[in-house]
Amino acid sequence: MKTKQMLLADDVRAIIKAATEHADSNGWKVVVAVVDEGGHQLGLLRLDGAAPISSEIATNKARTAAIGRRESRVYEEMINGGRVSFLSVPLQAMLEGGVPIVVDGEVIGAVGVSGVKSDQDAETARAGIAALGIAS
């Protein structure tokens, strides 16, 4: 049997705090979602002024990154590169902004952000993950 790291409530709070502080410092109104390795929501915070739909998009970006075991942008790039058949996979947000949390080579969860440009969403997600002090 294999032992695996997992996100704790304190980890989720730290991720959300760091990500929202990063967003605030840039004047970005975003939603930050954190999920476990199966894509189940562990935490979500919608900053004042962020669009309500961003809650769904951020969560789905995080789910895509967690269960796909890679950044959600990879799927967007494949589709933009002509592999349109990927539109039929059961992932819900194949857009940049979902970043997996990787510990010892294992995905233990993901962070999804929505509300600004996709690269800024991903930057904010990475800022949240950085609070854990791990290399993702």
In this prediction, residue 135 carries a pLDDT of 63
* pTM of the complete model: 0.93
- Residue 132 token pair: 């854990």
Residue-wise pLDDT tens for the chain (136 aa)?
A: 888 899 999 999 999 999 999 999 999 999 999 999 999 999 999 999 999 999 999 999 999 999 999 999 998 888 889 888 877 777 677 888 999 999 999 999 999 999 999 999 999 999 999 999 986 4
Query: What's the half-sphere exposure (Cβ side, CA atoms, 13 Å) at 123?
Result: 13
CA distances from 83 to 37, 41, 77, 79, 80 (A): 26, 29, 9, 5, 7
In this prediction, residue 93 carries a pLDDT of 78
In this prediction, residue 91 carries a pLDDT of 67
CA distances from 23 to 27, 29, 81 (A): 6, 7, 30
Angle between the 53-68 and 73-80 helix axes, to the nearest 10 degrees? Answer: 90
Length of the chain: 136
In CATH terms, is domain 9-130 a member of 3.30.450.150?
A: yes
CA distances from 27 to 15, 21, 99, 116 (A): 18, 10, 21, 10
